[in-house]
Structures are given as C-alpha cells and as structure tokens.
C-alpha cells in the first residue's frame, strides 16, 4: 500500500465504526502465532504494514473520546487502567516540591471513587477500589516524609483526605489501616511544631501553638496542620 492510499484510508476511518467481526479478525491477525526467527523477528513484526496500520487505527480511536470516557471510570471498569496511565503520565511533569500535594489529590480521587461505588452498592468493585486507595495512601506517606515546606495546598488536601475517609467509613466501608500515612502526618506536625518553638511568638501565637500540640496528642493531625498554617502566616 502506497503512502497516499494509507493516509486516505485513515481519514476514511473517522466516518465509520468498525464492526465487531472486524475487530475480532484484526486481533486474530495481529496476534497470530508464527515461527520464531529470533530477536530480529520482533522488529520485523513491529514494522509490518498491518501492525503499523492497526496502531494508527488504535491511536485514532483513542483520541476520539476514549480518554474522556476513562476519566469517569471507576475501579473495575474496562477503561480504568487508561485513567491510571494518564494520571501517571501527568505525574511525570510535576515538580518534586509539588509531589506531596499532587499525591494527596490522587488519594482524594481514590476515596471519591470509593464513595461512588459504595453509594451505588457495587459490592464487587469495593476490593479493587480499596486497594487503589491503599496504594495512593502509601505514596502520600512516602512524599510527606521528605523535608519540604508546608504549603496551604498540602494542608487543604490533607484535611480533605480526612473528611473523605470519614465519609466513606460513614457508609460502612472499611478502607483498611493507614498507619504509614498517619505516621507521616504525625512526623510532619512534629517537625513544624519544633520549628515554631524556635521562633519568637506572640501570646496569641503561643496559644495557637498549644492548640496544635493538643491536636497532636489527640492524633488530630490535619487539625494541627491547619493551626500551624494559620500561625505561620500571621
């Protein structure tokens, strides 16, 4: 097939929808077993016209709504892996200092997905959704352990995480242990309190710091972070 003919056929695809039989036959053709000719056979396969053409078809359909549909998917849905791949792709471009906020945002998305699943009583999807949250919570914990400046966005997302977790648990869903995340939040609060104790504070600031310390003892870490943020910006 010459180049002009290939381009013409690709443009035509925008106006048609492939039949189920066509999809099955194309899949069968692409993954048909052939004699092994060694490492070079892989390269030959990749550059075969039918493989290149099928790849272009896949990319065409991917850019005509698949990503948009994937954003609405939930754990257990066919397109959910596409959503996760897109998230990982965006994460590559996040600056290191912004990683804690970005990871907290992702963890909040996982809890929001879990809430939707619980509200819709989709019991079969609870386990994968909980696993997704646990994975995100672990990444948040690792990012919070590194010495970084406390930002308003981190405080807001951490507070939102606590609220979302309480909302899910109010629906009777046990999201599992978050000891690693709690330990990281505790460490962050202790670090910030230690820094504030080395400063000269007004009476009002001292009072707010003492409230943050009480929250730390009560393990209300996000409440403590809120007070620390207010104190630091007075």
Tokens of 191: 């670090």
Of the two residues 44 and 217, the one the predictor is more confident about is 217
- Whether 7 has a pLDDT exceeding 80, the answer reads no
Other Cβ atoms less than 10 A from the Cβ of 132: the count is 22
Our separate counts of H helices and E strands in the chain read 12, 0
Structure tokens at 68: 């948009």
- C-alpha span between 208 and 233 (Å, rounded): 12
Structure tokens at 89: 């792709």
Provide Rg for the chain, Cα atoms: 25
**What per-residue confidence (pLDDT) applies to 215?**
97
Highest mean pLDDT among 3-17, 62-76, 196-210: 196-210
24 — pLDDT class (breaks 50, 70, 90): low
Please answer whether residues 114 and 173 qualify as being in contact, where contact means their C-beta atoms are separated by less than 8 angstroms.
yes
Q: Which residue has the higher pLDDT, 56 or 158?
A: 158
Give the contacts of 5 (CB within 8 A, at least 6 positions apart).
Answer: none
End-to-end Cα separation, the chain, in angstroms: 71
Per-residue pLDDT tens digits for 161-206:
999 999 999 999 999 889 999 999 999 999 999 999 999 999 999 9
Secondary structure (DSSP) of 135-174: HHHHHHHHHHHS-----HHHHHHHHHHHHHHHHHHHTT--
Residue 2 has pLDDT above 50, yes or no: no
DSSP state of 184: H
DSSP 66: I
The pLDDT of residue 212 = 96
d(CA 153, CA 151): 5
Are 85 and 137 contacting, i.e. CB atoms less than 8 angstroms apart? Answer: no
SS3 at position 178: coil
Q: What is the mean predicted confidence (pLDDT) over 6-15? A: 50
Nearest-angstrom CA–CA distance, 179 and 184? 9
- 72: which residues sit within 8 A by CB, 6+ positions away? none
Answer whether 159's CB lies under 8 Å from 222's CB. yes
Tell whether the model's pLDDT for residue 69 goes beyond 60: yes
Give the domain ranges of the chain: 1-16+41-70, 71-172, 180-234
pLDDT at 78: 85
Query: Of 168, 114, 153, which Cα lies nearest the Cα of 136?
Result: 114
Report the half-sphere exposure of 173 (CA within 13 A, side-chain side).
29
């Amino acid at each position: 097939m010459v180049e002009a003919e290939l381009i013409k056929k690709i443009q035509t695809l925008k106006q048609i929808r492939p039949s189920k039989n066509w999809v099955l036959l194309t899949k069968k053709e692409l993954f048909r077993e052939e004699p092994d000719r060694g490492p070079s056979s892989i390269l030959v396969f990749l550059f075969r016209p039918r493989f290149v053409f099928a790849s272009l078809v896949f990319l065409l359909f991917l850019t005509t709504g698949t990503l948009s549909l994937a954003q609405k998917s939930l754990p257990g849905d066919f397109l959910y892996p596409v959503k996760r791949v897109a998230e990982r792709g965006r994460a590559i471009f996040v600056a290191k200092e912004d990683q804690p906020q970005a990871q907290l945002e992702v963890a909040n998305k996982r809890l929001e997905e879990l809430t939707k699943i619980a509200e819709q009583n989709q019991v079969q999807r609870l386990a994968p959704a909980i696993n997704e949250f646990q994975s995100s919570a672990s990444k948040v914990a690792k990012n919070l352990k590194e010495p970084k400046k406390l930002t308003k966005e981190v405080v807001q997302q951490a507070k939102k995480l606590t609220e979302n977790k309480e909302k899910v648990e109010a629906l009777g869903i046990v999201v599992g242990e978050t000891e690693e995340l709690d330990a990281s939040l505790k460490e962050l609060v202790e670090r910030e309190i230690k820094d504030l104790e080395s400063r000269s504070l007004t009476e009002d600031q001292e009072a707010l710091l003492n409230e943050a310390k009480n929250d730390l003892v009560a393990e209300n870490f996000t409440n403590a972070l809120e007070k620390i943020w207010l104190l630091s910006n007075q």
